[in-house]
Amino acid sequence: MGTPAAASRRLIDCDVHVAVPNVEALFPYLPQHWVEHVRQSVFKGAGTTYYPPGAPLWPGSTPPDSPAGSNLALLRSQVLDPLAVDVAIAVCLYAIDSLRNPEAAQAFARAVNDWLIAEWLDAEPRLRASMVVPVQLPELAAEEIARVGSHPGIVQVLLPVRSEHPYGNRPYRPMWEAIARHRLVAGVRFGGAPGNPPFPSGWPSYFLEEYAGMAQVFQSQLTSIISEGVLELFPTLRLALLESGVTWLPGYMWRIDKEWRNLRRIVPWVKRPPSEYIREHVRLTIQPLDSAPTWPDMTRTIGQIGADQMLLFATDYPHAHGGDPPEALLSRVPAPLAGKIGIENARALYGLPAPAVMR
């Protein structure tokens, strides 16, 4: 992890996690009412985590008395500097979607975004941020996007893949309109705490079931967004699937195209094969990589997807995954493809400027 294996290659890391160390860190950004409420009641903000205790982490990524991902100096020394990262997209998993009180959800979303800007973006020019929104309240989500979506460091709106309703449903349209209007990327990411089961058949018993089955949830959201015409209504919209895996996509594209040909009278607003919308609007991070045994097999998968602009480099710092680190894997694909995955696809997706002179 964090070796200089790719030091000669510039990278854009599309998924690094930053964590609120404790609720007190948000006090400077919260209205006094909520500061007093936290101090005087059992409510301590959103404490839900998407990962079980003891989940593997990068060695040394957890500072004393703070959660992993809460220390900027460690992020610099473990990712930004050794991997020659031009830009890293910060993702904060503070579970706004778990807050059922609308005023609390709005206040804490604002506080987290102001904390991200002040504590991370202002302190490190290589960082950009994914803003958090109360997705369970789409109109309030749209208000928050309008409030900070024009900040130059905000490039993405974070949408947990688990949600109360599929994101294509009509109540979410104010949120989609705000994302498109501000030219932000919709980052649909692993996890979520909406309170309902992750699968139509109900609650799983073990985290393994939930983790391995999350690709199904990504598929359901993608199906909803396409089928309900979101990408026709907002043709400039861009989506990044974060920590979704990759190899499920070719089979999914074949199936949804086939069923669309059979059933497109039901959804006449879906004017093109769904795979065309996916290739045009959707990108996926490569970590964790559910790859075939060898990179030649992986390049075959990319060929089956039919587009080499769809994959994005990501470390998923500080979460650790088995196998080779993603920066080492880039050396095993043809150089033009490595350049696209490592930096070019992300630059095009997020509208990032070209890098300075190579280090």
pTM of the model: 0.93
Q: Does residue 135 or residue 324 have the better pLDDT?
A: 135
Q: Does residue 357 or residue 13 have the better pLDDT?
A: 13
Residue 102 is predicted with a pLDDT of: 96
CA distance 275 to 21: 41
Residue 357 lies in a domain: no
Q: What sign results for the dihedral spanned by CA atoms 15, 16, 19, 25?
A: negative
Residue 356 lies in a domain: no
Mean pLDDT for 264-289 is 95
Instruction: Determine what percent of the chain is predicted with pLDDT higher than 70.
Output: 94
Confidence label for 357 from pLDDT (cuts 50, 70 and 90): very low
118 pLDDT exceeds 80? yes
Confidence label for 59 from pLDDT (cuts 50, 70 and 90): confident
Mean pLDDT for 242-265 is 94
Residue 68 is predicted with a pLDDT of: 87
Mean pLDDT for 87-113 is 96
CATH number (domain holding residue 198): 3.20.20.140
Residue 359 lies in a domain: no
- Taking the C-alpha atoms of 355, 185, 160 and 253 in order, what is their torsion angle to the nearest 10 degrees? -100
Tell me the two tokens of residue 142.
């749209």
How confident is the model over 1-11, as pLDDT tens digits?
A: 544 444 456 89
Which of 149, 129, 141 is closest to 167 using CA atoms? Answer: 141
Question: φ and ψ at 282, to 5 degrees?
Answer: -115, 140
Tell me the two tokens of residue 283.
């990108």
Residue 299 lies in a domain: yes
Residue 358 is predicted with a pLDDT of: 40
Q: Does residue 47 or residue 75 have the better pLDDT?
A: 75
**Mean predicted lDDT score pLDDT of the chain:** 91
Confidence label for 291 from pLDDT (cuts 50, 70 and 90): low
Confidence label for 295 from pLDDT (cuts 50, 70 and 90): low
Tell me the two tokens of residue 260.
């669309």
For residue 187, what are the domain limits? 4-350
Number of domains in the chain: 1
Residue 168 lies in a domain: yes
List CB contacts of 345: < 8 A, sequence separation 6 or more. 283, 309, 310, 311, 312
Residue 48 is predicted with a pLDDT of: 67
Residue 326 is predicted with a pLDDT of: 82
Tell me the two tokens of residue 179.
């994302």
Residue 288 is predicted with a pLDDT of: 86
List CB contacts of 320: < 8 A, sequence separation 6 or more. 1, 56, 57, 58
Confidence label for 355 from pLDDT (cuts 50, 70 and 90): low
353 pLDDT exceeds 90? no
Residue 145 lies in a domain: yes
Tell me the two tokens of residue 114.
């102001």
CA distance 178 to 132: 13
Residue 4 is predicted with a pLDDT of: 40
Residue 292 is predicted with a pLDDT of: 54
Which of 115, 117, 88, 234 is closest to 168 using CA atoms? Answer: 234
The number of C-alpha atoms within 13 Å of 297 and in the hemisphere containing its C-beta is 8
Residue 200 lies in a domain: yes
The three-state DSSP-derived secondary structure of 237-305 is CEEEEECCCCCCHHHHHHHHHHHHHHHCCCCCCCCCCHHHHHHHHEEEECCCCCCCCCHHHHHHHHHHH
How confident is the model over 182-235, as pLDDT tens digits?
A: 999 999 999 999 999 988 899 999 988 998 899 999 999 999 999 999 999 999
